[in-house]
Amino acid sequence: MKMRFLSRVAVAAAVATMMVAGIGYAAEGAESTKKAVTAKKDGKETKVVAKSLLDPSKLTAKAPEVFAARFETSKGPFVIEVHRDWSPNGADRFYNLVSNGFFDDVRFFRVIAGFMAQFGINGALAVNAAWKPAVIPDDPVVQSNKRGMVSFAMRGPGTRTTQLFINYSDGNARLDKMGFSPFGKVIEGMDVVDTLYSGYGEGAPGGAGPRQDRVQQEGNAYLTADFPKLDFVKTARIVAK
């Protein structure tokens, strides 16, 4: 798909909002993931989150030096390969989030063609509340935010938690000097990432997309009701070479 690039002014606004707000891997993971279970309430199936996700202080395992995570999405699969030496704290956080099913059923709530695809707000309110204060230390910027590279979003120094973005353009290297430290790269399925729904554009109030504060406060109920076209992660798992 041919990318539509933003004007310099539009990109600058998008970056400001962000501050505020070839190797094959097997499909089956070598690491086991603690899956969420379902229960019935009033005749309806309700997702119950894994207890492990409610206590970030216990999810601090050191990541392997190199590993990969396979994301099954509403548009198809993609694989992120992580190099711990690129961004150690970011790699460890990502490893623990994926290993415990954090990204399952998470929406790509902010997708801007020619710029990036952002995700990482859990659909369950209790999980969001637990992880909101769970910041990780900053990492030096070793790699560049070029096309396919994956970094944590932040609103300033010492604010990284769970939100990520996948870069669409080599022009995003401008983010390097702002402290966005890439920890991984999409090595399979970037064509899938390119097709994630971007029709809502920038988030409110600057655009017609979701308000991040409401996503945090209302979870997937808000997104599915008001932004039904958003693509989402079905599952994300650590995978073996």
Give residue for tokens 């994300």: 236
193 lies in some domain? yes
Give the pLDDT score at 197. 98
> Containing domain of residue 91, as a range?
52-239
Q: What is the mean pLDDT of the chain?
A: 86
42 lies in some domain? no
Alpha-helix residue ranges (DSSP H) falling in 54-177: 88-99, 125-131
R_g of the chain, CA atoms, integer Å: 17
How many domains are there within the chain? Answer: 1
Give residue for tokens 């929406």: 107
225 vs 157: CA distance, rounded Å: 33
214 lies in some domain? yes
Q: What is the CATH number of the domain that holds 206?
A: 2.40.100.10
189 lies in some domain? yes
Predicted TM-score (pTM) of the model is 0.84
Query: pLDDT tens digits for 173-206?
Result: 999 999 999 999 999 999 999 999 999 999 998 8
Query: pLDDT tens digits for 4-36?
Result: 334 444 455 555 445 444 344 554 433 334 444
177 lies in some domain? yes
43 vs 188: CA distance, rounded Å: 40
Cβ atoms 241, 66 nearer than 8 A: no
Tokens (6 digits) for 31: 């690491």
